[in-house]
Amino acid sequence: MKEFRRSVWIGFIWSIVFGTMLHFLYGWTGENRVVGLYAAVSESTWEHLKLLFFPVLLYTVWEYIWLGHRWKGYVQVRAEGVLLGMLTITALFYTYTGICGRHWLWADILTFVLGAAVTAYYTWKYARRGRGSSVFGAVVLAVITVCFGVFSLFPPAVGIFAIP
């Protein structure tokens, strides 16, 4: 279990570092549309959820190969964890901006870190229990991946896709 605890902490740090890099990658690549499928292309809340999702997705693949295959339902737990992390980011952002009437960079960064922490904690707490289906989890992650691509190219006229 020590190995798994260490892996969860590494994944937490990975998510923060790689997610931060994804914030700038689209601009660094001259606004490459392929990069825009998985990196933030605007300041909308939806685009910022990519900063958590794609690092977690990559780490999940690696961690599954290394450790996760030992537990039935590991991928589903990771999918649930990243969904909870993205929900945390969204709820905290809209709550504090609704109360304050504006947003601050430091608070946005804190919501991102808290979302990554929720994802890591959920994984740590539930992955070893062996419940759920890794196939279902993989389908959920695939659907979210497709949604990020489609809604980045064709954002609906809904608040979460608007630039605050």
pLDDT at 107 over 90: yes
Predicted local distance difference test score (pLDDT) of residue 69: 64
| pLDDT confidence band for 151 (50 / 70 / 90) | very high
Distance CA 29, CA 26 (A): 5
Predicted local distance difference test score (pLDDT) of residue 7: 87
CB atoms within 10 A of CB 12: 21
The reported pTM is: 0.92
6 Cβ contact partners less than 8 Å away, ≥ 6 residues apart? none
